[in-house]
Amino acid sequence: MATNNPFKPTPPPPQVPDRDVGGSDSVVLERRTQRVEPPQMYQVVMLNDDYTPMEFVVVVIQEFFGKDLEAATQIMLKIHLDGKGVCGVYSKDIAATKVDQVLDAAHKAGHPLKCISEPVDF
């Protein structure tokens, strides 16, 4: 007993010539270049508080933002003196991940350190 095959192959699409030599009813599409805007960048900002130790802030900046001791110390002092400091500039998803990492580390260490991301204005 023969069974019917449920698969029916679709015929290939008709071939359209690239150029019409005779100049009849053909449509020519022009290729237009599109300008793509770069993605919106976000800065990760740490906020000062009176309880988180400066040493912890330096370690967090080194660990999550890849800064050396000197750069991390400078950022920590800016946070301490100005009330906030930029730790890095990233795309939206990466900035959100950095904020989550910092807040998680601060929570696990028992510190009230706050970190936010905000769009960069150019």
Q: What is the pLDDT of residues 112-121, one digit of tens each?
A: 999 999 999 8
pLDDT grade for 7, boundaries at 50, 70 and 90: low
Stated pTM of the model: 0.71
How high is the pLDDT of residue 1? Answer: 52
Q: How many Å apart are CA 87 and CA 78, to the nearest integer?
A: 10
How high is the pLDDT of residue 19? Answer: 56
Task: Give 121's DSSP letter.
Answer: P
Domain boundaries of the chain, sorted by first residue: 51-119
Could you tell me the fold of the domain covering 51-119? Ribosomal Protein L30; Chain: A, (3.30.1390)
